[in-house]
Structure 1
Amino acid sequence: MSLITNVMDHSLDDGYAEAAARKKSQGGEGGMPKTLRAKLVLAAGLVLAALVVTVGAAQARVAAPVVAKERQELIDRIDSETEDADQLESTVDKLRDDVSARQRAALKSSGGSADVDLAGLLSGATAVHGPGVKLVVNDAKEASTGGDGTNPRETSDFSDTGRVRDRDMQRVVNGLWASGAEAISINGQRLTALSAIRAAGDAILVDNRPLVPPYTVLAVGDGDKLSTGFQNGADGLYLHALEEQYGIRATISTEGEVRLPAAPSVIVRTAQPKSEKTEKGTS
């Protein structure tokens, strides 16, 4: 009976039981070890990543010549359009000079005087050069957009007291005119009797063209007289006050030779009295 009982309680030899337990701890019966399975998964992931990188590199290599070709074509188009624009600008300048010469000839032949050239200079229709002054006006170093609404110079468009504004440039230009300037330009933009200095958001517009600081104002005239007259005048003192109170930067210097371009277009509108026949017809 004891032998039968021992066989029933220990159906497997102890060596078999130990081997079965070891296999179970390594991955279960009939399965592979966990460490081997993890290594296989990692290897498969690395292979997949390498495949993706290889395919991406191959596609980039294939697309690179196409992108480079499109980029070069765009550069060539830009260069071509720039050359065309330069040629058109040169043509416009030649036509403007021709028109001006014809206007002067027509005015002189119809009884005009030598004041024709002076009128063209003062109206901004012709380029001018000569002695004058150079005035550079710039925002304060700490100037930025925005504010708390408590600044004494605040408007609906500008709330930073350190920024140069349209009305500041208006006073600068008017002060130079009053001091004897014969012609003025701002950042290369020639001013005429029809010019307007306005604001659009944070930008200053001169004849609807936006300008960015620093604002370089060139004025033709007696340099010493212009400089002294402007700085001692009300507008020069106003600019000096902006420097002291708000940090706006401004420098003025006399120049032996100042060159100002002609205005892009000067459209003069004239009015004529109606004839008696026209007045009777419309009455």
Structure 2
Amino acid sequence: MSLLTNVMDHSLDEGYAEAAARKKAAGASGMPKTLRTKLGLAAGLVLAALVVTLGAAQARVAAPVVAKERQELIDRIDKETKSADKLEDTVDTLRDDVSARQRAALKTSGGSGQADLVSMLSGATAVHGPGVKLVVDDAKEASSGGGDDPRETADFSDTGRVRDRDMQRVVNGLWAAGAEAISVNGQRLTALSAIRAAGDAILVDNRPLVPPYTVLAVGDGKPLSTRFQNGADGLYLHALEDNYGIRATIAVESDLRLPAAPSVIVRTAQPRTEKGTS
């Protein structure tokens, strides 16, 4: 009797009862859990696609505006560059006119020859003649120096880069070897010229230069080249080549043409006037 009673009380297996309960719960919520998950994922993908589409549309709308502003800036730069070039041409023309008038005035007083010599030596007029062409460039693969490197400073750690003090020694060495006129990358040097550094750039009279640095020196050709290379500054340049990979080539030229200095302004010195005696 107890067995019959147990069968009657537990006519449905527990596993079937659990399955029936899950089915009833799913029916109450309206949809299975997996279907709800898939629908949520699909909605997220649709939202992401909508955001990307709106972003692309806004980019397409903004692109013409950005391109227009960029072109306007380029046009403005080109216009100002042409204006600056025109002003430089005007300055060169006026400088030539002033020089011609000075020579004409001095010719009448018998001092034209001396004035021409002074103008050439001071850098006030363009010159040409035989000399040497020296090209100095950074190493192909500039390496970072260690703490014991004598060329390393707080501002520079690249030992394969040409420094302002290197160019100073090169120029001074050429002067000492007998150069009569020198230019660096087209910048004529005078007694008032300065070679300095601004960050990694080398400045000649506050004008930045980029490597390679072409140094033209008018002088006695082959002897000038020999004296420079055998001098202390020429040996210093060879040491930079051997130890740091800095590249340098020197060649004797039959005719070099150097421009006049942009401006030669004397601020302190005054001409001496001889007092007559009675």
Class of the TM-score when normalised by the shorter of the 2 chains: 0.7 to 0.9
Provide Cα deviations, 1:7-46, integer angstroms capped at 9, x if missing partner: 9946xx859x958834615964501101211111112112
In the TM superposition, residue 183 of structure 1 has moved relative to its aligned partner by: 0.9
CA 208–62 in structure 1, closer or farther in 2 if over 3 Å, else same? closer
* 1:258 partnered with 2:256: yes
CA 22–123 in structure 1, closer or farther in 2 if over 3 Å, else same? farther
CA 185–23 in structure 1, closer or farther in 2 if over 3 Å, else same? farther
| Residue 171 of structure 1: aligned partner | 169
* 1:86 partnered with 2:64: no
CA 41–162 in structure 1, closer or farther in 2 if over 3 Å, else same? closer
- Opposite residue 36 of structure 2, the aligned amino acid is R
| Residue 116 of structure 1: aligned partner | 115
| Residue 279 of structure 1: aligned partner | none
* 1:268 partnered with 2:274: no
CA distance in 2, matches of 1:197, 1:97: 26
* 1:47 partnered with 2:42: no
**Which runs of no fewer than 5 residues in structure 2 stay unpaired?**
none
CA distance in 2, matches of 1:68, 1:157: 38
> Equivalent of 1:195, from 189, 193, 196?
193
CA distance in 2, matches of 1:59, 1:145: 46
CA distance in 2, matches of 1:144, 1:203: 17
In the TM superposition, residue 200 of structure 1 has moved relative to its aligned partner by: 4.5
CA distance in 2, matches of 1:179, 1:56: 68
Provide Cα deviations, 1:166-208, integer angstroms capped at 9, x if missing partner: 3332232222223222210112221001112334554433223
CA 140–64 in structure 1, closer or farther in 2 if over 3 Å, else same? closer
Across the two proteins, how many residue pairs are aligned to each other?
269
Q: Give the stretch that moved more between structures: 19-28 or 176-185.
A: 19-28
CA 23–76 in structure 1, closer or farther in 2 if over 3 Å, else same? farther
CA distance in 2, matches of 1:115, 1:27: 115
Q: TM-score, normalised by structure 2?
A: 0.81
Q: TM-score, normalised by structure 1?
A: 0.80
Report if aligned partners of 1:147, 1:160 keep a CA contact under 8 Å in 2.
no
* 1:68 partnered with 2:67: yes
RMSD of aligned residue pairs (Cα, Å): 3.3
Report if aligned partners of 1:27, 1:33 keep a CA contact under 8 Å in 2.
no
CA distance in 1, matches of 2:256, 2:7: 121
In the TM superposition, residue 134 of structure 1 has moved relative to its aligned partner by: 0.7
Identity %: 79
CA 29–123 in structure 1, closer or farther in 2 if over 3 Å, else same? same
| Residue 280 of structure 1: aligned partner | none
CA 205–18 in structure 1, closer or farther in 2 if over 3 Å, else same? same
Report if aligned partners of 1:135, 1:218 keep a CA contact under 8 Å in 2.
yes
